[in-house]
Structure 1
């Protein structure tokens, strides 16, 4: 009988406070496997990085690749945080010195999806104990974002089917590294019985003991590095799978490595040092307020409207995480105020659609402001009040207003917002609007920085 062990992480999102324990634990497992000549493979399923952390921001994710190299992993795929929040040139460099293959079968170097980047492989093969293992990767197809940045992305299931059709004839085990989410993984398992193991991510699902769907064992380790996953496979002498099981380990219960606290602090301090460059000097404090309007919100509204040509900017006040003190404002200060990997998005909408949006905002804003929210690009604590300059609501007559007048149903409006309003379920009308223009690679903090430089005498071109 043969035994194969797979260790996997997913959606760490630069929660580097968990990395010392994860690394220490996995390094011990790799060392023990090597020493005892056991078969063990190590995989990350994407969104290992997140620009919310200063070290990731300050190194454009290269520090995260260095951490993966330390183990090293045997293969990784990447998620939307690698793929859509880094500039094209930064993603191109992200894995330049990787000690592992990057596997993704539905990602391309051009919008036409005819050529893959040099740093991506659609499939890789590993052989252990004379067992041939095919490893396929796939990432969530955020087409609007990828195409805006000059990349291409294919519908993942059809791309995976192509890889399955072209498998080497003597392949024994097929593993999918899937940054696609649990519902898609379940569908893939039913449509493609050739796949034996699906290591998942993207939807932050935790499958503590895995899940059998069709012929496949689905495994996933939740979010933020809070768990590490393990899959064990037993095969007979003919390389036929006899059993496959999954289990997860809570990171908080893993052995505490020496100097853990110092290492976590060092990650943060190194990031702060990388972001120490002065941006501007401001004459007075710019304070944030999660539950009301603020001067910094007005500045960001103006900035995004100028950047996108929009008439107003719909945002939640919870995006502002700190104040700016009077005096020098650094890259680090701007990052700490707006740590979220959020893009500006311009919506071209009809008067009727705008009316529905404003009506929804005024009906829901009170209940939304205290909601704790993580995800959808938002990295704050509370959603905060919804801010939409120039919009109003006549409560007596139940009429949405723009510039204190009823909405003109005969014209179109160009309204800006950010990713959270598109992907969170609060205002369905935003997702339904077909004409969306995503502004990449700049994040909201980059647009704010550009505006501050304009305001305080260091203007630069867009």
Structure 2
């Protein structure tokens, strides 16, 4: 390499999804590479292309992603794109809490509040980095999703935003434009095709393992798979005098070393200890054990339906048993018990339904192919039947699979098929991913950003001791 040139090495990950067991080893690789590059007079940056968090890990779920940010701090990340594991799950307000912990900027130029058009708090649209002669402009973009509308936010198509910011950063002297993207590979391809002047796209979201980078019209596109199995490495040779890129190489490095970074191990232990303290907090008391049965009435299901009905001030409530994960023993209830009882991030909801729509939902939930289905968002749980509050349902499990319900009482009165009732449920039953109901989403009131365990915690604090049991709300003939 000429003495007039310098190397910029960009290391990158994406879609770690809280697989923290790999991070000490990955971090050891990063520190070794940083030292090697520095010894040759070069510069190193470490980026993540989104979805480092995931509710599959209790520490991540309980802190709504903040614990993962603390661990990434120990690894020395320089920037991250906003993924779709935290913001659409816990609401965009969770980004600000993660950003307060993170020592690195979180980038997404295309997520704003609908009313004001202002960027969601905790985000930055771009980052400017000067490393000797290198002037680097980094633009962040995240996957678009209709889910943001529930929280009063909106994600815009990235192409015009990236084009405008790339031009702006060039005018400010950037000699290299990079996009840190959580759009997915096909969207990254499209972005490179329609927006001029992008030198590099470091991507995520689609979990693609690009052993060889793509070159789309001069734009280099990379992605490092998922779960921390590989560390991406990009080496750019830059002319010191002009700042132009003279050579580039990108490859993936398997994370297969035995050396572990002690600092990251300590960070993981610290987050585990902090979360254990949160989980031990007392929230209430139950007189009876709260059991789970996905295919019959159960005490946990009755409790959750009661919580939703009261919270949303509705006449009745129904909720899929698949929202629940574990039973709760009789006696004191801790916050940890609630976290283990439901890891669902569903939001309470309220809508008006005619009696016929309620009957249709109950019948739909009893269909074996529906109750036994294990949709991916339920993380391995069967959907189960609908648990109810304010209703008594009699059904024939051996009758017509699509018309099992024989009688429905609202309180002590028969369900009136033409009458309109106020009904509480969640965004799972009222949303567009299932067919329990077919509601226009503008007719549904969502209690956001509250998630089910938070609603249950408030209910337990107000109503302890809880004395819910199996009461014959759902009765087979």
Into which bin does the TM-score normalised by the smaller protein fall? 0.7 to 0.9
Structure 1 residues 182, 332: closer, same or farther in 2, change over 3 A?
same
State the distance in 1 between where 2:267 and 2:218 align: 42
More displaced, 341-350 or 446-455? 341-350
Identify the residue that residue 278 of structure 1 maps to in structure 2: 282
Identify the residue that residue 221 of structure 1 maps to in structure 2: 224
From 328, 334, 343, give the equivalent of 2:332: 328
Structure 1 residues 429, 283: closer, same or farther in 2, change over 3 A?
closer
Identify the residue that residue 166 of structure 1 maps to in structure 2: 168
State the distance in 2 between where 1:25 and 1:331 align: 37
From 29, 39, 56, give the equivalent of 1:35: 39
- The runs of 5 or more residues in structure 2 that have no matched partner are 467-477
Identify the residue that residue 425 of structure 2 maps to in structure 1: 416
1:384 Cα deviation after fit: 4.2
Q: Deviations over 1:192-243 (max 9, x none)?
A: 1322322222344443434444543332233343443233345567555566
Considering only aligned residues, what root-mean-square deviation do their CA atoms show, in Å? 3.9
State the distance in 1 between where 2:352 and 2:196 align: 43
Identify the residue that residue 385 of structure 1 maps to in structure 2: 384
More displaced, 295-304 or 111-120? 111-120
More displaced, 399-408 or 42-51? 399-408
SS at match of 1:80: coil
SS at match of 1:202: coil
| Residues 103 and 136, structure 1, Cα contact 8 Å, conserved in 2 | yes
- The runs of 5 or more residues in structure 1 that have no matched partner are none
| Residues 144 and 438, structure 1, Cα contact 8 Å, conserved in 2 | no
State the distance in 1 between where 2:101 and 2:228 align: 23
1:137 Cα deviation after fit: 0.7
State the distance in 2 between where 1:413 and 1:135 align: 49
Structure 2 residue 382 is matched with structure 1 residue 403: no
SS at match of 1:162: helix
1:408 Cα deviation after fit: 3.7
SS at match of 1:221: coil
More displaced, 131-140 or 338-347? 338-347
Identify the residue that residue 175 of structure 1 maps to in structure 2: 178
**Pairing of 1:14-413 with structure 2 (within 5 A):** 14-57=18-61, 59=63, 61-86=65-90, 91-96=95-100, 98-108=102-112, 110-116=113-119, 119-128=122-131, 130-142=133-145, 145=148, 148=151, 153-169=155-171, 170-234=173-237, 239-241=243-245, 244-251=248-255, 253-257=256-260, 267-310=271-314, 311-317=316-322, 319-346=323-350, 361-363=365-367, 365-366=368-369, 369=372, 371=374, 374=376, 376=377, 378=378, 380-389=379-388, 396=400, 398-399=402-403, 403=408, 408=417, 411=420
State the distance in 1 between where 2:356 and 2:169 align: 51
| Residues 291 and 384, structure 1, Cα contact 8 Å, conserved in 2 | no
More displaced, 445-454 or 384-393? 384-393
Structure 1 residues 326, 99: closer, same or farther in 2, change over 3 A?
same
SS at match of 1:314: strand
State the distance in 1 between where 2:251 and 2:439 align: 37
1:289 Cα deviation after fit: 3.2
User: Greater CA radius of gyration, 1 or 2?
Assistant: 2
| Residues 349 and 430, structure 2, Cα contact 8 Å, conserved in 1 | no
1:244 Cα deviation after fit: 4.7
| Residues 84 and 146, structure 1, Cα contact 8 Å, conserved in 2 | no
State the distance in 2 between where 1:288 and 1:398 align: 24
State the distance in 1 between where 2:190 and 2:426 align: 32
| Residues 77 and 102, structure 1, Cα contact 8 Å, conserved in 2 | yes
TM-score, scaled to structure 1? 0.80
SS at match of 1:81: coil
SS at match of 2:42: coil
SS at match of 1:168: helix
More displaced, 449-458 or 406-415? 406-415
| Residues 290 and 385, structure 1, Cα contact 8 Å, conserved in 2 | yes
State the distance in 1 between where 2:385 and 2:402 align: 18
Identify the residue that residue 450 of structure 1 maps to in structure 2: 458
1:299 Cα deviation after fit: 0.8
